[in-house]
Amino acid sequence: MRKILIIEDQEDVRKLIHISLGDDQYAIYEATNGDSGLALAEQLKPDLILMDIMMPGIMNGYQICDTLKGKKDFKNTRIVFLTARAQEQDMLDGYRSGCDDYLVKPFSPIRLAEIVKSLLANSNAPAKPH
């Protein structure tokens, strides 16, 4: 079963992600801040990470993404930002940090499920270079 890590401080968003993806399709894990999210990612080695950019902790989403994508074990891990940061510069910063996709809140649950399915279907191919 594919492992997905959600790094998101808002409980309602985490619940919506669970509903969008269906709890029976994936093994879904959660972290409520960047610091615990990074530690959990290193422990679990998930196939895909869904994370916010702005969250409590020392590191923000950009920093976590950049850190993970710089490690050999995470070269093929897909990372999707789910964030309220909708400016073009925010998106550019997201892709520069190594994310594979970027969804702006409020997001479509159907679109989220499609992106996750597509990224995981192609997860044997190397992730986009950053």
Residue 43 makes CB contacts below 8 A (sequence gap 6+) with none
The token pair that represents 44 in the structure block: 């679990």
Are 83 and 17 in contact, with CB atoms under 8 Å apart?
Answer: no
Q: What is the pLDDT of residue 6?
A: 98
Domain spans of the chain, in order of start? 3-121
The Cβ of residue 63 has, within 10 Å, a number of other Cβ atoms equal to 15
Amino acid 130: pLDDT: 43
Q: For position 129, what pLDDT does the model report?
A: 47
Supply the pLDDT for residue 57: 87
In the CATH hierarchy, which top-level class contains the domain 3-121? alpha beta
Pairwise CA distance, residues 108 & 75, whole Å:
27
Average pLDDT, 10 consecutive residues per value, the chain (130 residues): 96 95 91 95 97 93 95 94 94 96 96 96 60
pLDDT of residue 24: 87
The amino acid at 28: I
